[in-house]
């Protein structure tokens, strides 16, 4: 069943790029005790993700934090090295890049996208959510091929 507002996020292992290499991140610990703006993209360095989605959250980081967001996180079904490189290339020091390399998070959320037709395999759908102490407060899932409701601007209007 697809994750819904009011549901607790599943506890899965994600990864992030660290100084000494990939570092494990337990979702239950990452989201505990704070309000996180989480957004998911089909892939790092892909056109809409790089031109609009990530830059929107980078540009609006201070406004999101002014409205009570403690942390902004981006996830994709990519490895920690790719997510780390994309974060550096995009200048996103205000956005924590979380690798869902095995698709555990998007599978547990039931938000998997099949990008096999484009040679991308199974990926995460484009979505955003506000997670408060591990519980989903708002959820915005895009229709296939669209970028409307998961943007930073849309999230700001919801806060």
pTM over cut 0.85:
yes
Superfamily name and number for 13-158: Glutaredoxin (3.40.30.10)
Domain borders along the chain are: 13-158
For 94-133, how does the pLDDT look when each residue is reduced to its tens digit (9 = 90+)? 999 999 999 999 999 999 877 666 766 577 888 999 999 9
Catalytic residue among 49, 76, 83, 155: 49
3-state SS, the chain, equals CCCCCCCECCCCEEEEEECCEEEEEEHHHHCCCCEEEEEECCCCCCHHHHHHHHHHHHHCHHHHHHCCCCEEEEEECCCHHHHHHHHHHHCCCCEEEEECCCCHHHHHHCCEEECHHHCCCEEECCEEEEEECCEEEEEEECCCCCCCCCCHHHHHHHC
Decide if 74 is catalytic. no
Percent of the chain with pLDDT over 90: 70
> For residue range 122-145, what is the model confidence (pLDDT) as tens digits?
778 889 999 999 999 999 999 888
């Amino acid at each position: 069943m697809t994750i819904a507002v009011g549901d607790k996020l599943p506890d899965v292992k994600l990864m992030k790029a660290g100084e000494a290499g990939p570092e494990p991140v337990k979702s239950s610990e990452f989201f505990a005790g704070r309000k996180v703006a989480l957004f998911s993209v089909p892939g790092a360095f892909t056109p809409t993700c790089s031109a609009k989605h990530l830059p929107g959250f980078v540009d609006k980081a201070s406004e999101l934090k002014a409205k009570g967001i403690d942390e902004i996180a981006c996830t994709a079904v990519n490895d920690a090295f790719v997510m780390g490189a994309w974060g550096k290339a995009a200048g996103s020091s205000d956005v924590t890049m979380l690798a869902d390399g095995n698709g555990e998070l998007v599978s547990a959320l039931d938000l998997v996208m099949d990008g096999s037709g484009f040679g991308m395999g199974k990926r995460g759908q484009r979505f955003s959510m506000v997670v408060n102490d591990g519980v989903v407060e708002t959820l915005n899932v895009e229709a296939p091929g669209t970028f409307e409701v998961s943007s930073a601007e849309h999230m700001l209007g919801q806060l």
